[in-house]
Chain A
Amino acid sequence: MSTLLTLGEGFLLGVVAFSLVGVITTVFVLLERKVSARIQMRVGPMRTGPHGLLQTVADIVKLLMKEDVRPEYADPVAFRLGPMLTAVPAVLSFVVIPFGAPLVMRDLDVGVVYFLAVPGMTVVGLLLAGWASYDNYSFLGGLRASAQFISYEIPRTLAVVTVVMLAGSLNTVDLLKAQQTVPYILLLPLSFVIYMITTMAEVNRVPFDIPEAESELVAGYHTEYSGFRWSLFFMAEYGALYAAAAFATLLFLGGGNGPVLPAVVWFVGKSLVVVFLFMWVRWTLPRFRADQLMRLAWKVFLPASLVNLVLAALVMMAVGR
């Protein structure tokens, strides 16, 4: 009996996580449009619902009812797998986010490694989608996306390692406990900066959105997609965005730690601030060129993160933690 219960619980959690990502995508698309509108001195969508609040809901209904187009020469298996493999890791990332001390789906001992490892599977999805579309724009977009992801993964991981060294644990809940007095952004400011910038690159946002640069590649790897599959890419993008923001909150901003209000409120509030930061940057800065992007990763961020790591280790040795 308990066997069925355990398995059922896991299944339920999956459903919850997936729904969460769906809701987040809905909200964030609207948020993004509103934020960009404010930055560009516009008002954004206003017609559907009060202040356009129902705009994205309407969009989703539209997307779900659209015809599912598949190019004639597309590889049928890979074309279907691509969006799924892109979206699933984003959903999986939510498993280890501790929204409040008890509010975490699975309190893994290796939560941090999990968070670093699972989004890596996205790359497979992107490559498949790009390749399966049988279209040069998609193909280039897929290659660029994965090259970029792999390149920025290294400095990002190294930045996270400093946090792990300081906390002495890979467990997300332990990280929260370790930051009860001082959030790590004060102790490891450089790590935070590296993490934020590389994360922007990992989730393919401006100024790092080369893979889907519309002026060069139409829409990158999802050029040929439409309807529900296309919305899966959007879910993946915004799900990953929120997961990254949540981990920034967890690793550097003290997570749900805060006075008076319950932990959940603090956590969501902080992570929304980070999300807003990502959007702000996206609508303010121009994008890099592909070669600049790679050079930045290998010649700036990799050495910088190594130096940061050594510095952090030396300081920790000196202080004796």
Chain B
Amino acid sequence: MTASDVLFVVFGVIAAGCALYGVLTRFLLRSIVALGAFLTAVAGEFYLLAADFVAMVQIFVYVGGIVVLMLFALMLSTSGERQPLAGSDRRGFSSLLAYALGGMLVWASIGAKLPAVPGGLPSSVPYLGRALLGEQLFAFEFLGVILLAAVVAALSLVRSERL
């Protein structure tokens, strides 16, 4: 058991625990904070999977951006309301579905015949840079277009009725 294995387990437990807590808690704020912790733990997993740039992007965009955005939405929409929400309902049916789906995924993962992990690359950043501005340039540019569209859409949704 190497250090990264230990860390993998630690991060995995944190991620799963936070995800579960975030889904189950009746306090909206705690749910969002749990999401933040979950995302950070997943970023840790990314780092362990030799995707350090993706890990940083995850923290940059998710924790620094999306979680903050959610907190904003929470505070702007329910700033006066601090009562716990209605908890989860339809638990039986939903957990059946979730167990079925998750069980199937886990079963498929265990059964999958995966190749051995190849030797590590020196650093992912140069390869990623070349991929983003080379082979995957279209995806990269397209992402920019999507983000722009999202910004426009969000603005037009929330602007007040007067033009």
Cβ of B143 under 8 Å from chain A: no
Q: How far is the CB of B122 from chain A (nearest CB, A)?
A: 9
Give the complex CA separation of A153 and B40 in angstroms: 19
Contact with B along A103-146 (1 / 0, CB 8 A): 00000111001101110110110011001001000010001001
- B42 contacts partner chain A, Cβ-Cβ < 8 Å: no
Residues of B within 8 A of A3 (CB): 1-3, 5-6
Q: Closest B-chain residue to A119, C-beta based?
A: B64
Complexed CA–CA distance, A62 and B59 (Å): 36
- Contact residues of B: prevailing secondary structure: helix
Does B33 make an interface contact (CB < 8 A)? yes
* Residues B32-55 near A (CB distance < 8 A): 33, 36, 40, 52-53, 55
The distance from the CB of A314 to the nearest CB of chain B, in whole angstroms, is 17
Q: Kindly state whether residue B68 has any CB partner on chain A within 8 Å.
A: yes
Q: B64, A123: Cβ atoms under 8 Å?
A: yes
**Complex CA–CA separation, A123 to B52 (angstroms):** 22
**Chain B interface: which of A74-82, A175-183, A262-270, A282-290?**
A74-82
Also in contact, A113 and B60, with CB within 8 A (given A75-B82, A127-B75, A170-B125): yes
Give per-residue flags for B48-84: 1 if the beta carbon is below 8 A from chain A beta carbons, else 0. 0000110111011001110110011001000100100
A150 proximal to B (CB < 8 A)? yes
Contact of A121 with B64 in the complex, beta carbons under 8 Å: yes
Residue of A109, A128, A131, A169 touching B52 (CB-CB under 8 A): A109
Contact B3 A6 (CB under 8 A): yes
- In the complex where A75-B82, A131-B75 touch, is A120 in contact with B64 (Cβ < 8 A)? yes
- Chain A residues with Cβ under 8 A from B29's Cβ? 75, 77-78, 128, 131
- B141 → A minimal CB distance (Å): 16
CA distance in complex: A139, B124 (Å): 41
B94 within 8 A of A: no
**14 additional A-B residue pairs with CB within 8 Å, beyond A77-B33, A118-B59:** A2-B2, A3-B1, A7-B6, A75-B27, A109-B124, A110-B56, A114-B56, A120-B64, A121-B59, A124-B33, A127-B68, A131-B71, A139-B75, A171-B125
List 9 contacting pairs A-B, 8 Å CB cutoff, sorted by A.
Answer: A78-B30, A109-B125, A113-B53, A113-B56, A113-B57, A117-B56, A121-B40, A123-B64, A143-B75
Closest 9 A/B residue pairs (Cβ): A120-B64, A117-B60, A6-B3, A113-B56, A117-B59, A109-B123, A127-B71, A3-B3, A117-B56
